[in-house]
Structure 1
Amino acid sequence: MARAKPSRSKRDINLTHPGAAAIDIGATMHVAAVDPNDDSEPVRSFGTFTGDLQRLADWFKQCGVRTVAMESTGVYWIPAFELLDQRGFDVVLVNARDAKHVPGRKTDISDAQWLQRLHAYGLLRASFRPRGEIATLRAYLRLRERLLDNTASHIQHMQKALTQMNLQLHHVVTDITGVTGMAIIRAIIDGERDPATLAALRDPRCHSTVETIRQALIGNDREEHIFALTQAVELYDFYQTKVGDCDVRIQAVLERLREAAPAPAAPLPPARHKTKQPNSLAFDVRPLLHGLLGCDLTQIHGLGPSLSLKLVGECGTDLSAWPDAKHFTSWLCLAPSNKISGGRILSSRTRRSGSRAAALLRLAATTVGRTETALGAFYRRLSARVGKAKAVTATARKIAVLFYNTLRHGMAYADPGASYYEDRYKRRVLTNLERRAKSLGYVLQEAPVPS
């Protein structure tokens, strides 16, 4: 007897989010879509003014929408995301790569309908976005980075003006924005031209002698070059002031976060390095971070105070969004991919990513590769075998795992030493050699030490 064919309702996929909506984000117009059963006109277009967004939220309320999905299109999604979030909707930001449209139909209306359908059936993954004060901290930190980038361009303008006057200051001092360099540059702007007088402004910590600096400051000053130097210094000072304003805001946010966090169980350990890093914040970051997190991330080699603060700003203080360290490193695109077909590994390359957190971890890996630590030994051994690019990625993944375990599980990091990875590598090689020799009927024997 033939089996009865199941009804269409039983064959359909069950809805995961019954009250789901979606928005196709644009610069001047947003196209929103709801379930066709909730409204006779399930797709509508709205402008990007605040009044238009308010009407969009009212329409969602009228249709009984509880969750909204949208793609991260430039920065145009931010006003709609924040307004809908304030109105009580569960807003999901998705990666455009995960919401690729069916080929052959590509319009704003069909995009919104397809996005709504995928979200209703639970086929979209929400991108991570910190909430509350952490989002505010991240915004301030990113703004500070942009200001520092602008500052760097004006330092180059200062150096160009000096070179045009054949004042070789950048060859005799390590940093022209240091104490010696800025004292000499400001004196030049004020009208001082005597090389001996300018060289006498040398700071005692400067490695170059007064005579070397004097010879480098014999040049050909011209009116247009002095004017360009003056403009560059004024713009440099302006951006330095704005960076200081950002530091005040960042410190205030950290103070608020620390007051809301429980007191740390252990005291703050002593700092591994006492030298001040260039472009560091104007306040001591370690005590505030320790009071906020209850642990000291700077004990992990490669993570200084500023870099640790940036990682916290990008990833937040609660890493429960990732079940374990493997999920965390996969989100950072630092874990090998697994493209397998027919039992064959087609590719294991890491995915491309614009993650700022991953870039920070790669920077930490490059720095730690020059240290006599376990991570440094791991980087150098891997670099000699597979190249620097892959060694940076692998070391960044190890630092990411240490960061996750420290912040999520309170792990206390202790450096096992530079010889740790070397000894473990030798033991692994010997184990493999012994196994292969045994399979061939031989036994490895340690050679006697010559007297």
Structure 2
Amino acid sequence: MATVEFPQIIERGCGLDVHRDTVVASIAGIGIQEETQTFSTFTTDLEQLIGWLQNHGVTHVAMESTGVYWKPVYYILEGYFELLVVNARHIKNVPGHKTDKKDSEWIVKLLLSGLLKSSFVPEVTVRFIRTLFRHRKKFINQRSRAKNRLQNILEDANIKLSSVVSDVFSKTGVAIIEQLLAGVADPWQLANQARGSLVRKKEELAKSLHGRFSEQHRFMLRMLMNSILDQNRSIEEVENKLDDLVRPFEQELELLQTIPGISRIAAVGIISEIGVDMDQFVSAKHLASWAGVCPGNNESAGKKMSSRVTQGNKYLKTILIEAAWASSHTLNTYLSFRYYSISKRRGKKKAAMAIGHDILNAAYHILRDKTPYREPRLRQDIIEQRRKSELERLERRIQKLKTLASN
């Protein structure tokens, strides 16, 4: 079987097969002999890699986006060469005996032929904003887990605070927990910490606070409260640092917040994932595909098999879905009407994904053109349909209340 030869587009290049401890580098091109060397991932060894590539006149370097291992290599080589970080699925080699050397040689072969497409890697400031924003999300998740464990401890002591208080960590809930930590066990004394509308529920609150709260429960409660306070401090520090870093992007943040459902923190999250330079993406459709919020296309023999969304950027996808839920509760906006229309036919989850797609599409054009969000003209039939459905819902509610009153 004849070997397929690709036309050469790049004069001299290097393919890197990156691992945790080693980097296998293969060079090829016009006027140099094909060669492969292995370098350690220590900084001094990567600097030797830079010198070796420069001595051979290499101008372009390509590597797979392997976990997090490509990042330090990219950061050290950045500024010396034209770097391409490529999706591993796009450079899959033909089946056969697989070695690190063959992988790097295949990468450089595709690179020289111009067949590789670089993934989006933001500039340094946006990279740091992205790191901080993702850590903020992790701190919030850790705090949520600690709060769930704390409520489990209260349930273990048969303290039914969550049955009466909608939020255990409201002012009333926190005050009661502090009293428990201080050694107060009398249910009525604990119930006296009630605030707001809970004052009218003191009797029910006192009943829910009558349990078997032991010293072991107090010990665990104190540990979990300390953990929650630590997470609160970490989140506050991260948010303060984010405020300092996003000051150069105040214009873009204000423009993004003109989209219904987009808060300031959501706007920061969007910029942390896609930056502010939309020239990095071919079109809004390309950005949506990269983010994983557009329908897939799996077709065989003329039959459509699936239209599930692709994996994409899970962090950006989460931000967009949260913004979609928020926009669905806005009044008389295109996004809320569109959410309502889709959810009736396809369900709420698919509607949220579709609205997330719309929000990202709007964000792309807003950041590209530096113009605020313009509300599309709402179709009158959608407005009438929403009004009719709302009236029907209220009528059903009235009938239900009448039935309960008669019983």
Task: Quickly say closer, same or farther: Cα 1:221–1:347, change in 2 above 3 A.
Answer: closer
* Per-residue deviation, 1:333: 2.8
1:70 aligns with 2:70: no
1:227 aligns with 2:186: no
1:310 aligns with 2:269: yes
- SS class of match (2:122): coil
1:199 corresponding residue in structure 2: 191
Q: Distance in 2 between matches of 1:411 and 1:424?
A: 30
Task: Quickly say closer, same or farther: Cα 1:205–1:42, change in 2 above 3 A.
Answer: farther
1:297 corresponding residue in structure 2: 256
Kindly indicate whether the alpha-carbon contact (under 8 Å) linking 1:376 and 1:418 is maintained by their aligned counterparts in 2: no
Task: Quickly say closer, same or farther: Cα 1:20–1:418, change in 2 above 3 A.
Answer: same
Task: Quickly say closer, same or farther: Cα 1:123–1:36, change in 2 above 3 A.
Answer: closer
Kindly indicate whether the alpha-carbon contact (under 8 Å) linking 1:23 and 1:68 is maintained by their aligned counterparts in 2: yes
TM-score by length of 1: 0.78
* Per-residue deviation, 1:15: 2.2
- SS class of match (2:133): helix
1:399 corresponding residue in structure 2: 359
Task: Quickly say closer, same or farther: Cα 1:424–1:123, change in 2 above 3 A.
Answer: farther
Q: Distance in 2 between matches of 1:65 and 1:294?
A: 40
1:365 aligns with 2:324: yes
Q: Distance in 2 between matches of 1:418 and 1:181?
A: 44
Deviations 1:91-128 (A, max 9, x none): 21111111111111311111111111111111111111
After superposition, residues 83-232 of structure 1 pair within 5 angstroms as 83-86=76-79, 88-204=80-196, 206=198, 209-232=201-224
* Per-residue deviation, 1:253: 0.9
Kindly indicate whether the alpha-carbon contact (under 8 Å) linking 1:173 and 1:207 is maintained by their aligned counterparts in 2: no
The structure where helix makes up a greater share of residues is 2
- AA aligned opposite 1:110: K
1:441 corresponding residue in structure 2: none
1:14 corresponding residue in structure 2: 7
- 2:287 pairs with one of 285, 304, 328: 328
Task: Quickly say closer, same or farther: Cα 1:423–1:177, change in 2 above 3 A.
Answer: closer
- 1:25 pairs with one of 7, 18, 31: 18
* Per-residue deviation, 1:305: 1.6
Higher relative contact order (CA 8 A, sep 6+): 2
- AA aligned opposite 1:394: A
Q: Which runs of 5+ in 2 are unaligned?
A: 387-407
* Per-residue deviation, 1:384: 2.1
Q: Aligned residues, how many?
A: 383
Kindly indicate whether the alpha-carbon contact (under 8 Å) linking 2:255 and 2:371 is maintained by their aligned counterparts in 1: no
- SS class of match (1:30): strand
Kindly indicate whether the alpha-carbon contact (under 8 Å) linking 2:147 and 2:228 is maintained by their aligned counterparts in 1: yes
After superposition, residues 229-268 of structure 1 pair within 5 angstroms as 229-255=221-247, 257-258=248-249
- 2:314 pairs with one of 355, 363, 382: 355
Deviations 1:300-355 (A, max 9, x none): 12212211110111111121222432222232233334456677656544323343
The Cα RMSD (Å) is: 2.7
* Per-residue deviation, 1:26: 0.8
Of 176-185 and 349-358, more deviation after overlay is shown by 349-358
- AA aligned opposite 1:310: G
Task: Quickly say closer, same or farther: Cα 1:208–1:375, change in 2 above 3 A.
Answer: farther
Kindly indicate whether the alpha-carbon contact (under 8 Å) linking 1:36 and 1:42 is maintained by their aligned counterparts in 2: no
- SS class of match (1:209): helix
1:382 corresponding residue in structure 2: 342
1:4 corresponding residue in structure 2: none
* Per-residue deviation, 1:150: 1.1
- SS class of match (2:25): strand
Of 148-157 and 416-425, more deviation after overlay is shown by 416-425
- AA aligned opposite 1:131: E
Kindly indicate whether the alpha-carbon contact (under 8 Å) linking 2:246 and 2:268 is maintained by their aligned counterparts in 1: no
- AA aligned opposite 2:9: T
2:397 corresponding residue in structure 1: none
Kindly indicate whether the alpha-carbon contact (under 8 Å) linking 2:261 and 2:330 is maintained by their aligned counterparts in 1: no
Kindly indicate whether the alpha-carbon contact (under 8 Å) linking 1:336 and 1:350 is maintained by their aligned counterparts in 2: yes
Kindly indicate whether the alpha-carbon contact (under 8 Å) linking 2:194 and 2:202 is maintained by their aligned counterparts in 1: yes
- AA aligned opposite 1:223: E
Q: Distance in 1 between matches of 2:209 and 2:30?
A: 79
Task: Quickly say closer, same or farther: Cα 1:397–1:171, change in 2 above 3 A.
Answer: same
- SS class of match (1:112): helix
Provide the identity percentage: 29
Deviations 1:18-76 (A, max 9, x none): 22111111112211111066655611111122222121112111111122111111111
TM-score by length of 2: 0.86
Q: Which runs of 5+ in 1 are unaligned?
A: 1-10, 259-290, 427-451
